[in-house]
Amino acid sequence: MKLQQLRYLNEVARQDLNITSAADALYTSQPGVSKQIQLFEEEIGLQVFLRNGKRLTGITEPGEQILSLAAKVMHQIDNIKRVGDEFSNIETGTLTIATTHTQARYKLPAVVKAFMTAYPHVKLNIHQGNPSQVAEQVAKGDADVGIATEYISDFENLLCLPCYEWNRCVVVPHGHPLLLDGALTLEKLAAYPLITYDFGYTGGSLVSKTFSEAGVSPNVVLTAIDADVIKTYVTLGLGVGLLANMAYDPERDSNLAMVDVSHLFPNSTTYLGVRKDAFLRGYMYGFIELMAPKFNRKAVNEALKISGTSSL
Amino acid sequence: MKLQQLRYLNEVARQDLNITSAADALYTSQPGVSKQIQLFEEEIGLQVFLRNGKRLTGITEPGEQILSLAAKVMHQIDNIKRVGDEFSNIETGTLTIATTHTQARYKLPAVVKAFMTAYPHVKLNIHQGNPSQVAEQVAKGDADVGIATEYISDFENLLCLPCYEWNRCVVVPHGHPLLLDGALTLEKLAAYPLITYDFGYTGGSLVSKTFSEAGVSPNVVLTAIDADVIKTYVTLGLGVGLLANMAYDPERDSNLAMVDVSHLFPNSTTYLGVRKDAFLRGYMYGFIELMAPKFNRKAVNEALKISGTSSL
DNA sequence: CAACGTTACGCTCTTCGTAAAGATG
DNA sequence: CATCTTTACGAAGAGCGTAACGTTG
């Protein structure tokens, strides 16, 4: 059995059982991939892939398990390489962050700036997606850390660290009747067309839950994943915007008025997630600490130790 | 990076940094191992082993991490092979049990007999050791399951399933004064020379704890890991034997009298341990169920799911 | 000087890429 | 007939074993 074979298997599974595109992705020849997979299946003594004649049509039951194990092996091989990088090229490498739009746009800039100053030789990638995509990317090892609200703890092999709590505000054009009508309630809010986050995005489901538990039906006329989009439509007079506190900037958004509604909704917690079995580079600990100061290197290791089987 | 290199690294570490004996154990040439380790270190960009000139004298700090990861990789490679075996040669293979003498001698025979009838093509190995050796063998993957009392749950990556509870009895030659003196107490027991298990073995530490909590000092004149040895010395009149209930067989041990002392000591629980990240062959589930009937395949998988990161 | 690790070298087996052939839908 | 996989073959390369050399204690 060769590592190459496991790598090939993985990539074929990734590429929807298309050997040709797997070969392309691996920068090698297609017959080579085909051959190694045959050799692997011969050595193991069973088929990983179901075939209809020559086409791959599916994955066998044992194949599923083998692919899952192969993915773990490849991940640990990556970890081994990282150990090398960590100890030789101190503080150079890549940090891939998966996060939602809200975090990327309003919370991360300050953190990223501090990070880039502290680790100028680390290349940064930011992947954007909804919370479950964020979690999935981290779980698969496509991202080193994920930052999102809710959902992220669904995956068994992720360690979730609470970073900070936040709440919501309402934005309206200046002179809007809501501004004149005393303290805001869910009922008053529901009287106006509402523009807010997609459910399934940053704290979206918590909002709908709060409304429904209060027996109030909000009139959501438009949803977006993007606070800037929401503000744009509010500016056009299409409705009242409900978004994260941190997404309102008094200077930049001077054409809108803001009303805090923390008293109407429970706080949402933003979590940072890492794979329990990942080898964390020094600068990754650094990033985590910038994001959630109480989680220094020691605290993260402690959390990893408690949570998982990971016996690094 | 090659799997072979990881295998070599592992074996060298196992053989106390002796490349020559590692090569022997791997049935290959010594220069080959030497070369591959050099190539690996070159590729990774750091040394795994500390050298004094040409001798290996230790493991570097990153080396420790790499070796740990390499061990995991090799274990998962074994798992992959097992998947193959499981689905092709149904119910043939090997089951290695690590356990203490008491279990092997008094509890396992019935289970093993049933197992061999159910899975006649599975080869059985029984490794004997003290409870911490048992746990270590399972943790390292040298044994598939471990059976012992206490201690076994110290390892992070072991799943422990409670099998059954048991308690102790006292054995003495017929006509011994203890038999005439009414209900037994710790004090009365302490008045006679005591022969019992090594502390650190089957429930031994629980016995000493019970005595010390009662403020009683037992007069332990001889300890052994082996109930048969204990009984032999009791027969010779050297003292009173304190051993596991199940170790007294009224027929075979007709030359000794037995007094139950369950009321003096708390029950001990015997656990069965498996690695959380092991791929369990069908017959291994079978063995576990024979040993602890409430843990059928489904229950074991459930326990694995709850306990670990293991996302098979 | 005995035990151990590294270097040197030649052989063999593997792997990889190109080209061609065979299947599938 | 376009797409995809397998087979065939030759060249390049990697791994292994023997033998010789260099070090360590």
Split at pLDDT 50, 70, 90, the class of A204 is low
The whole-number pLDDT of residue A308 equals 56
Rounded to an integer, the average pLDDT of B82-93 is 87
Question: What contacts A112, CB < 8 A, 6 or more positions away?
Answer: A124, A126
Q: What's the CA gap between A282 and A297, in Å, rounded? A: 8
* Residue A81 contacts B where some CB pair is shorter than 8 Å: yes
* Share of residues in chain A with pLDDT > 70 (%): 96
Residue of chain B whose Cα is closest to the Cα of A309: B157
Angle A106-A108-A111 from CA coordinates, rounded to 5°: 130
pLDDT in tens, B92-122: 999 999 998 888 888 898 999 999 999 989 9
pLDDT at B207 over 90: no
The whole-number pLDDT of residue A256 equals 94
Structure-token pair, residue A296: 């220094």
User: What dotted CATH number matches B3-85?
Assistant: 1.10.10.10
B88 to A309: CB separation less than 8 angstroms, yes or no? no
Residue B219 contacts residue B195 (beta carbons within 8 Å): no
Split at pLDDT 50, 70, 90, the class of B204 is low
pLDDT at B223 over 90: no
Q: What's the CA gap between A276 and A306, in Å, rounded? A: 10
Chain A, chain B: beta-carbon pairs less than 8 Å apart? 107
Domain-wise residue ranges, chain A: 3-85, 92-162+270-306, 168-266
A31 Cβ contacts chain C strand, under 7 Å: yes
Q: What's the CA gap between B286 and B6, in Å, rounded? A: 33
Rounded to an integer, the average pLDDT of A97-103 is 90
Residue of chain B whose Cα is closest to the Cα of A275: B309
The whole-number pLDDT of residue A39 equals 93
The whole-number pLDDT of residue B308 equals 56
A29 Cβ contacts chain C strand, under 7 Å: yes
pLDDT in tens, A224-240: 888 888 898 899 888 89
Q: Which of A26-35, A200-209, A263-272, B229-238 has the lowest mean pLDDT?
A: A200-209
DSSP of A97-142, one letter per residue? EEE-HHIIIIIHHHHHHHHHHH-TTEEEEEEE--HHHHHHHHHHTS
Rounded to an integer, the average pLDDT of A145-165 is 84
| CATH class given for the domain over A168-266 | alpha beta
Residue A158 contacts residue A297 (beta carbons within 8 Å): no
Q: What's the CA gap between B22 and B30, in Å, rounded? A: 8
Rounded to an integer, the average pLDDT of B180-191 is 88
Q: What's the CA gap between A20 and A30, in Å, rounded? A: 5
Residue A112 contacts residue A119 (beta carbons within 8 Å): no
pTM of the model: 0.82
Angle (deg, nearest 10), helices A3-14 and A30-44: 110
Chain B: give the shortest CA distance to residue A31, in Å: 21
- Architecture per CATH, domain B92-162+270-306, reads as 3-Layer(aba) Sandwich (3.40)
The whole-number pLDDT of residue A312 equals 35
A44 to B81: CB separation less than 8 angstroms, yes or no? yes
B54 Cβ contacts chain C strand, under 7 Å: yes
* Residue A44 contacts B where some CB pair is shorter than 8 Å: yes
Split at pLDDT 50, 70, 90, the class of A105 is confident
Q: What's the CA gap between B278 and B272, in Å, rounded? A: 14
Tally of CB atoms within 10 A around B217: 9
Round the average pLDDT of chain A to a whole number and report it. Answer: 89
A83 to B77: CB separation less than 8 angstroms, yes or no? no
* Residue B49 contacts A where some CB pair is shorter than 8 Å: no
The whole-number pLDDT of residue B90 equals 80
Q: Which of A112-116, A160-164, B137-141, B156-160 has the lowest mean pLDDT?
A: B156-160
Rounded to an integer, the average pLDDT of B76-100 is 91
| B80, B275, B310, best to mutate vs chain A, most A CBs in 10 Å | B80
| B75, B76, B89, B279, best to mutate vs chain A, most A CBs in 10 Å | B76
CA-based nearest residue to A289, from A150, A41, A47, A119:
A119
A2 Cβ contacts chain C strand, under 7 Å: yes
B84 to A62: CB separation less than 8 angstroms, yes or no? yes
Tally of CB atoms within 10 A around A285: 18
B68 to A312: CB separation less than 8 angstroms, yes or no? yes
pLDDT at B309 over 50: no
Q: What's the CA gap between B287 and A63, in Å, rounded? A: 25
pLDDT at A309 over 80: no
Domain A92-162+270-306 and domain A168-266 have a common topology = yes
A266 Cβ contacts chain C strand, under 7 Å: no
B25 Cβ contacts chain C strand, under 7 Å: no
Q: Which of B127-131, B211-215, B238-242 has the lowest mean pLDDT?
A: B127-131
Rounded to an integer, the average pLDDT of B176-189 is 89
Structure-token pair, residue B166: 């048991």
Better-scored residue on pLDDT, B204 or A206: A206
Split at pLDDT 50, 70, 90, the class of B8 is very high
pLDDT at B88 over 50: yes
Round the average pLDDT of chain B to a whole number and report it. Answer: 90
* Residue A27 contacts B where some CB pair is shorter than 8 Å: no
* Residue B277 contacts A where some CB pair is shorter than 8 Å: yes
Split at pLDDT 50, 70, 90, the class of A311 is very low
Angle (deg, nearest 10), helices B61-88 and A30-44: 70
With tokens 């170790």, the residue in question is: B247
Beta bridge partner(s), residue B257: B172
Tally of CB atoms within 10 A around A210: 16
pLDDT in tens, B244-282: 999 999 998 999 999 999 999 999 899 999 999 999 999
Q: What's the CA gap between B55 and A298, in Å, rounded? A: 35
